[in-house]
Amino acid sequence: MHVLHLKSAPLTQRPGGRGSPVSATRPAARRTSAVSVPGSIHGVDGESRIAWVSKALCRSTDPDELFVRGAAQRKAAVICRHCPVMAECGADALDNRVEFGVWGGMTERQRRALLKQHPEVVSWAEFFSSQRKHRSVS
Annotated binding site for [4Fe-4S] cluster: 58, 80, 83, 89
CB 87 within 8 A of CB 130: no
Q: State the Cα–Cα distance between residues 90 and 106, nearest whole angstrom.
A: 7
Q: Is 98 exposed, middle or buried (0-12, 13-18, 19+ CB in 10 A)?
A: buried
How distant, in Å, are the alpha carbons of 25, 32, 48, 49 from that of 44?
33, 21, 6, 9
* Annotated binding-site residue numbers: 58, 80, 83, 89
Q: State the Cα–Cα distance between residues 24 and 127, nearest whole angstrom.
A: 34
Q: What is the dihedral of CA 46, 49, 54, 60, to 10 degrees?
A: -80
